[in-house]
């Protein structure tokens, strides 16, 4: 099952189709009525099935659905409801890399309300996953920045943002050099935190990136974060 889209908003809807169907069926029905071209893909995602999508090309040799994908999605859903259940579900993932990435996303999500628990989770991931490659290291820094922001540790946060954005720049640069560009977990969160807490550093990072889909997505992330802050009603 596939659907062609030509903008980032529709691509995001397709990417999160299974989650939308599970959390808000009314929203899913509204999306299908306002964007009829997405209806087949959203219907396909109803049972938790999700296919890989790319801008401009159709996926080939699509693998059968990964049964562990639902556990990963459940972990992210429960991270907003019950951190202990979220962590337990993430720990059930059989793939080491997917487990680490999911647990770090859970840590980022719970950091605002449970920073100590998030910090413990990050340390546990560092202990379990050795050696740590560049992308996982960046993901760890991003999660640590979420904790530092939640605890209002400004100096530590500034240092983490410097390290994280510098690492992200070099990773993205290498991806462009080798034509292997893909979105790295944790970068979007760093941009969100950075634009709120250290905008000059974050804007300099964004401006330093060469034109690419990744840069466009991160600019949208920064703009969305700023617009969300400005739209908060006063009084």
pLDDT in tens, 18-39: 555 555 566 667 666 766 666 6
Rounded to an integer, the average pLDDT of 98-117 is 93
Question: How many whole angstroms separate alpha carbon 35 and alpha carbon 164?
Answer: 37
Residues 88, 91, 94, 95, Cα dihedral to 10°: 140
Of 118 and 44, the one with more pLDDT: 118
Q: Which residues contact 70 (CB under 8 A, 6 or more apart)?
A: 48
pLDDT in tens, 178-231: 999 888 999 999 999 999 999 999 999 999 998 888 888 899 888 888 877 654
Structure-token pair, residue 219: 């600019």
Question: How many whole angstroms separate alpha carbon 184 and alpha carbon 39?
Answer: 29
Question: How many whole angstroms separate alpha carbon 105 and alpha carbon 76?
Answer: 7
Of 67 and 227, the one with more pLDDT: 227
pLDDT in tens, 83-93: 888 888 888 88
Q: Which residues contact 52 (CB under 8 A, 6 or more apart)?
A: 59, 62
Q: In which band, very low, low, confident or very high, does the pLDDT at 57 lie, cut at 50, 70 and 90?
A: very low
* C-beta atoms surrounding 231 within 10 Å: 7
What is the average pLDDT score of the chain?
Answer: 78
Residue 69 has pLDDT above 60, yes or no: no
């Amino acid at each position: 099952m596939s659907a062609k889209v030509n903008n980032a908003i529709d691509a995001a809807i397709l990417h999160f189709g299974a989650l939308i169907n599970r959390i808000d069926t009314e929203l899913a029905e509204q999306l299908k009525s306002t964007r009829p071209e997405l209806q087949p893909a959203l219907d396909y995602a109803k049972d938790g099935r999700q296919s890989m999508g790319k801008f401009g090309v159709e996926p080939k040799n699509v693998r059968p659905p990964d049964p562990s994908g639902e556990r990963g999605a459940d972990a992210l859903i429960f991270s907003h409801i019950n951190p202990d259940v979220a962590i337990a579900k993430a720990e059930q993932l059989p793939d080491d890399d997917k487990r680490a990435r999911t647990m770090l996303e859970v840590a980022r999500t719970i950091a605002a309300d449970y920073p100590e628990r998030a910090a413990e989770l990050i340390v546990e991931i560092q202990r379990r996953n050795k050696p740590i490659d560049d992308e996982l290291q960046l993901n760890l820094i991003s999660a640590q920045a979420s904790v530092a922001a939640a605890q209002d540790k400004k100096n530590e946060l500034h240092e983490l943002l410097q390290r994280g954005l510098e690492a992200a720049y070099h990773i993205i640069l290498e991806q462009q050099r080798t034509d292997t560009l893909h979105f790295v977990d944790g970068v979007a969160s760093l941009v969100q935190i950075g634009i709120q807490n250290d905008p000059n550093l974050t804007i300099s990072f964004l401006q330093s990136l060469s034109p690419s889909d990744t840069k466009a997505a991160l600019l949208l992330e920064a703009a969305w974060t700023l617009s969300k802050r400005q739209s908060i009603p006063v009084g």
